[in-house]
């Protein structure tokens, strides 16, 4: 009989203890949390350089048999930068544009703009970076025999975005460069 009472009392204390430790399923445990976090599990979006950098290309016009340039415009979100080409240190990931040739177009050289030099707390010397709107020029040559036509050149832009404290994983933007041959 004594054992039964001890077991019953222990079971009641254990049940009260466990109910005090468990979270109620009918309401939020932390009423100071923002409403979006109160009833849903935490969601973490992966952060990469592509969260802070966009790129597009305006249509280029080139005479048949002639040369011209296409411009890829890189837009870096305010408060961020990307490494210049060439970068200050060899271990930094340079901004790099690669353009694929087409049947009636050959790709010459890529010209990167003059970098901005800025000092950051994590580097011993100022770094060459791009910020804001960044035009990258690509020299193209059209075949003489092709006549009037249009092409979309496939291009990719490799970037690594950083803020004043951290650099994010590099990313690649795929771009189409429209070219009209006159």
User: What is the predicted pLDDT for the residue at 163?
Assistant: 92
108 alpha carbon, distance to own chain's centre? 27
Binned at pLDDT 50, 70 and 90, residue 148 comes out as: confident
Quick: pLDDT tens for 8-60: 455 544 444 434 443 433 434 433 333 444 444 445 556 889 999 999 999 99
User: What per-residue confidence (pLDDT) applies to 45?
Assistant: 56
CATH number at residue 66: 2.60.40.1250
Question: Residue 1: inside a domain, yes or no?
Answer: no
Give the CA count within 13 Å in the CB-facing half-sphere of 137: 8
Write the burial class of residue 142 (CB in 10 Å: 0-12 exposed, 13-18 middle, 19+ buried).
Answer: buried
The sign of the torsion formed by the CA atoms of 113, 116, 117, 119 equals: negative
Residue 11 lies in a domain: no
Q: How far is CA 1 from the centre of its chain?
A: 71
Residue 148 included in any domain = yes
Domain that holds residue 168: 49-181
Q: Is residue 95 part of a domain?
A: yes
Does residue 16 sit within a domain? no
Asked if 41 and 58 count as a contact pair (C-beta separation under 8 A), the reply is no
- Give every strand in the sheet of 127-130, ordered side by side: 116-118, 127-130, 81-83, 161-162
Any domain includes 18:
no
Torsional sign, CA 139, 143, 146, 152 = negative
- Per the structure, the count of domains in the chain is 1
Please indicate, yes or no, if residue 14 is contained in any of the structural domains.
no
- State pTM to two decimals: 0.72
87 lies in some domain: yes
For the chain, percent of residues with pLDDT exceeding 70: 74
| CA angle 144–147–149, rounded 5-degree value | 120
């Amino acid at each position: 009989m004594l054992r039964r009472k001890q077991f019953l009392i222990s079971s009641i204390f254990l049940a009260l203890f466990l109910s005090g430790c468990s979270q109620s399923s009918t309401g939020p445990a932390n009423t100071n949390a923002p409403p979006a976090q109160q009833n849903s599990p935490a969601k973490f979006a992966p952060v990469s350089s592509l969260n802070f950098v966009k790129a597009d290309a305006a249509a280029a016009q080139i005479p048949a048999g002639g040369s011209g340039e296409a411009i890829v415009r890189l837009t870096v979100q305010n408060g961020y930068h990307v490494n210049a080409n060439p970068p200050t240190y060899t271990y930094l990931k340079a901004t790099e544009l690669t353009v694929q040739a087409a049947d009636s177009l050959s790709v010459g050289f890529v010209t990167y703009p003059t970098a901005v030099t800025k000092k950051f707390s994590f580097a011993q010397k100022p770094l060459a970076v791009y910020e804001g709107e960044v035009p990258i020029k690509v020299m193209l040559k059209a075949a003489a025999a092709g006549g009037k036509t249009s092409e979309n050149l496939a291009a990719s832009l490799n970037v690594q975005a950083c803020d004043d404290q951290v650099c994010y994983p590099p990313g690649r933007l795929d771009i189409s460069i429209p070219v009209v041959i006159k």
